[in-house]
């Protein structure tokens, strides 16, 4: 297991979910239900593509989160909104992040909670041709705030000193006074309306 995955799983293991409705975006590969500390939920649904690259369980809502049509997302979810939404290890596959984040807002109840991860430094990975974007911590927060989420917790995933040495070796001009071991973000946010 990679250091990025270890940090993600440790973060998830601290979460207790006790609510009515939960949406697990991209959860057909690794459902969130067994990855959090406790899970007491009446209505649990997975939103994923019709043909996700790996699938270990069924999909309840079939659609592309980055669809620019909020109507398509609402139709697919039958207008249901969720108290808690998980969007874990999905954002690198999104080709239109603004539409995806606005769709997450649309799927989250007023003052509901979003748990989301963003990669920053990570190799291009499978499925081939579908790994599109990386996000700085500032970029991840910008997307969420612009859409109407308030950041409650922002945990930084960290690599080791080898990352900084790599930048130095290739003469990359890194911003001063910043931790250059950051490899991603794990964020808990609240819908602010």
What CATH number did the domain enclosing 156 receive?
3.40.50.150
The DSSP bridge partners found for residue 17 are: 39
Residue 46 CB neighbour total at 10 angstroms: 24
What integer pLDDT is reported at residue 172 of this predicted model? Answer: 79
What integer pLDDT is reported at residue 82 of this predicted model? Answer: 97
What integer pLDDT is reported at residue 5 of this predicted model? Answer: 95
What integer pLDDT is reported at residue 57 of this predicted model? Answer: 85
What's the whole-number average pLDDT of the chain? Answer: 91
How far is residue 76's CA from residue 61's CA, in Å, rounded to a whole number? 6
Q: Please classify residue 165 by burial: count the beta carbons closer than 10 Å to its beta carbon, then call 0-12 exposed, 13-18 middle and 19+ buried.
A: exposed
What integer pLDDT is reported at residue 54 of this predicted model? Answer: 74
Tell me: the pLDDT tens digits for 90-137? 999 999 999 999 999 999 999 999 999 999 988 898 888 889 999 999
What integer pLDDT is reported at residue 78 of this predicted model? Answer: 86
Report whether pLDDT(52) > 90.
no
What is the extent of the structural domain holding 45? Answer: 3-191
Q: Specify the number of domains making up the chain.
A: 1
| pLDDT band (50, 70, 90) for residue 174 | confident
Tell me: the pLDDT tens digits for 60-81? 999 999 986 667 777 878 889 9
How far is residue 166's CA from residue 66's CA, in Å, rounded to a whole number? 33
More confident residue, 178 or 105: 105
How far is residue 117's CA from residue 135's CA, in Å, rounded to a whole number? 10
Tell me: the pLDDT tens digits for 149-171? 999 999 999 988 777 777 778 88
């Amino acid at each position: 297991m990679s250091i990025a995955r270890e940090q993600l799983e440790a973060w998830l293991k601290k979460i207790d979910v006790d609510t009515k409705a939960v949406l697990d975006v991209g959860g057909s590969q690794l459902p969130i239900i067994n990855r959090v500390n406790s899970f007491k939920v009446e209505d649990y649904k997975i939103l994923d593509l019709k043909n996700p690259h790996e699938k270990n369980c069924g999909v309840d809502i079939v659609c592309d989160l980055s669809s620019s049509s909020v109507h398509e997302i609402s139709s697919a979810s039958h207008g249901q909104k969720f108290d808690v939404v998980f969007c874990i290890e999905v954002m690198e596959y999104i080709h239109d992040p603004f539409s995806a984040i606005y769709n997450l807002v649309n799927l989250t109840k007023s003052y509901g909670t979003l748990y989301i991860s963003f990669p920053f430094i990570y190799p291009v990975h499978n499925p081939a041709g579908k790994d599109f974007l990386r996000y700085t911590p500032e970029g991840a927060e910008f997307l969420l705030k612009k859409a109407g989420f308030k950041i409650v917790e922002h945990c930084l995933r960290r690599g080791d000193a080898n990352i900084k040495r790599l930048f130095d070796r290739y003469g990359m001009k890194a911003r001063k006074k910043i931790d250059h071991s950051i490899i991603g973000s794990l964020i808990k946010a609240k819908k602010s309306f």
